[in-house]
Chains A and B, each alone.
Chain A
Amino acid sequence: MALKIITSQCTVCGACEFECPNAAITFKGDTYIIDPDKCTECEGQFETPQCVAVCPVPDTCVPV
């Protein structure tokens, strides 16, 4: 259970990085990646995953 970022869609704005309650998102190389071991899809924490909620491009943070 984790989300991933579709690199080709990502604008590298970084908004998801500090909304993630699990510190699962980091900047690696040219893009942001989600650590699947840390990602909980915000279950029990928020109604919707925070990266999905803040991402300016639809369908960029999606389930693995």
Chain B
Amino acid sequence: MSAPLIPISGLALSDRAQMGQAAEKVGCSASSCGSSAGPADMDPATWAKVKDHPCYSEEAHHYFARMHVAVAPACNIQCNYCNRKYDCANESRPGVVSERLTPEQAARKVLAVAAQVPQLSVLGIAGPGDAAYDWRRTRETFDLVSSRLPDIKLCLSSNGLALPDHIDEIVAMNIDHVTITINAIDPEIGQQIYPWIFYDGKRRTGIEAATILRDRQLKSLEMLHERGVLVKVNSVLIPGINDDHLIEVNKAVKARGAFLHNIMPLISDPAHGTHFGLTGQRGPTAAELRKVQDACAGGANLMRHCRQCRADAVGLLGEDRGQDFTLDKLPETIEDTPEARAAYREWVAEERRDRATAAQFAEAATEPVETPTLFAVCTRGSGRINLHFGKATEFQIYEAGADGIRFVGHRRADNYCLGGHGDSERMDEVIRVLEGVPYILCAKIGEGPRARLAAAGIEAIDSLAQDYIETAVAAVLASRNACLGRSAESA
């Protein structure tokens, strides 16, 4: 078995020390990323619920890992973007799994991951079908896990159709995070996304199906909100079908108490065998996604760090370790190590306090940036620049603008399915996805890639390795301003 995501022993000491050095060197750090990310932005009870949940708090996703167990394969609706029949282990998209598990197998897997990954804080059931429709298996899995690992939070995702039937049990089981996928509130639009639903003993289609589904989804949201369960709403952005409409969805779910709204790009490829894939319905570009997200400003808070993970994902959001924990690789006997998780959480609490102090420092010190500048960051978590450029399969994108330094999303440059191609193709892909990003911050980079990036107008910086992301961004801006200042004087 491989080592934990971040070995705790090394982490606490070296990073503490480096933190001190970083603060002295630069003297500032920018605000923590994400608009509603910190304890200052919400009431203490809500913060307590989300602070360890990587999907509900952008800030937490730097520190905490989640896992999904694929115990719920059955589904009561058909979505035109979904096909659960095919799996490629290298594929990352919702609804895809390598092996389905019984509740007992799933509980064993959770124990094995918890023993090896102290970052683990959340167990989610997100299908591959519908967790609320396949309720018996979902409930049994949660019961088994919560009796063994009381410190792991429980979370589930559903299309909402069957959810109202299980609200009381959800509350009784302390599931305080539920995600409902709502792609439309107008049945005219909904019927273009859902060919049928199975409800009350009957398959239904068209406007009738879309109306029932919409009503049940909104009812679930209201019922959960009334009972204090945090609800995230997922929406798949389908260009030409619901792009403008998602602004209405955003308003409607905010009015009913949604905590977060996650607008995700449609993943569409004929090879996936989905209806949209086969009909050539395309997914949105990064710019189109951003446009819709920005148009929702002022409505329900947006989640921008979603990685659209598989229904059997394991690890930090950007780093899927599911293949390390397939059934055949689980150890015979599993010793739980709750003390490792507790130690890790203490370390995170301390780290967060330091980061908050550094952020306050920075608020005062950072000069306003006139033109927003994007930075691509190579990180393996903890909010630091700590990943080699060559190892990065995704870049976290930060924007320095008038309202400080904030996380705005991520861009993928997976090397998956490029097997057999050389580094040259991968670099082309990296340069393509980093369009409009002038800086890459990474722990290290080879001279070859550095030169190729430079030729494409992207400056790779590895001198700020191990710094906090915001600290490093502020340092780059400061040195750029100093350069500009000098050239202005000499002119």
Q: Which residues of A contact B (CB under 8 A)?
A: 11-15, 17-19, 46-48, 50, 53-54, 56
Contacts and interface: CB of A to CB of B under 8 A. Distances in A.
Contact of B76 (A12, A15, A47, A48): A15
Contacts of A11: 84-85
Given A15-B75, A18-B136, 7 more contacts: A13-B84, A15-B198, A17-B74, A19-B198, A47-B202, A48-B202, A54-B76
B190 interface: no
B201 A18 contact: no
Contacts of B134: 14-15
B409 interface: no
A50 B74 contact: no
A15 B201 contact: no
13 contacts: A11-B84, A12-B73, A13-B75, A13-B129, A14-B73, A14-B129, A15-B74, A15-B75, A15-B76, A15-B198, A46-B202, A53-B198, A54-B203
A54 B202 CA distance: 8
Interface string B184-227: 00000000000000100111000000000000000000000000
Given A14-B134, A18-B136, A50 B73 contact: no
B201 A53 contact: yes
Contacts of A47: 202
Contacts of B73: 12-14
A56 B100 contact: no
Interface residues of B, number: 16
A18 B73 CA distance: 12
Contact of B74 (A14, A46, A53): A14
Interface in B70-96: 73-76, 78, 84-85
Given A17-B74, A18-B74, A56-B78, A12 B129 contact: no
Q: Which of B84, B136, B198, B201 has the most CB of A within 10 A?
A: B201
A15 to B, nearest CB: 4
B447 to A, nearest CB: 49
A11 to B, nearest CB: 5
A46 B201 contact: yes
Interface of B is mostly: loop
Interface string B158-177: 00000000000000000000
A34 to B, nearest CB: 16
Nearest to A15: B74
A17 B134 CA distance: 10
A39 to B, nearest CB: 17
* 10 residue pairs, one from A and one from B, having the closest CB atoms: A15-B74, A14-B74, A53-B203, A54-B198, A11-B85, A13-B73, A13-B74, A14-B73, A13-B129, A56-B78
B204 to A, nearest CB: 10
A46 to B, nearest CB: 6
Given A18-B136, A53-B201, A53-B202, A12 B100 contact: yes
Contacts of A13: 73-75, 84, 129
B201 A50 contact: yes
A53 B201 CA distance: 8
B106 to A, nearest CB: 14
Contacts of B76: 15, 54
Contacts of A15: 74-76, 129, 133-134, 198
A56 B136 CA distance: 20
A48 B85 CA distance: 25
Nearest to B134: A14
Contacts of B129: 13-15
A55 to B, nearest CB: 9
A50 B74 CA distance: 14
Nearest to A50: B201
A58 to B, nearest CB: 10
Contacts of B201: 46, 50, 53
Contacts of A12: 73, 100
A6 B100 CA distance: 20
A25 to B, nearest CB: 11
A53 to B, nearest CB: 4
Contacts of B100: 12
Nearest to B129: A13
B271 to A, nearest CB: 17
